[in-house]
Amino acid sequence: MGKVAIHAWLSYLPIKGDLFEAKSVHEILCSLGPNNRYVPKIVSIFAEVSYPSLR
């Protein structure tokens, strides 16, 4: 995925309404972590899903 595509894709996350789709997408999201470039956004997305009351 190119940088622009990743940024666009990340802007639609987290997926909250479809748990089946969310699982697949969040697994892909985890694969972006080794680059360290997207770690802050990844952590933010998982925090929003895990602790929605903090938003």
Whether the pLDDT of residue 55 is over 70: the answer is no
Q: Are 42 and 30 in contact (CB under 8 A)?
A: yes
Give ∠ CA 48-8-38 in degrees, rounded to 5.
Answer: 60
pLDDT tens digits, 12-43: 888 878 889 988 888 888 777 666 777 888 88
pLDDT band of residue 54 (cuts 50, 70, 90) is: low
Domains of the chain, residue spans = 3-54
Supply the pTM of this predicted model. Answer: 0.61
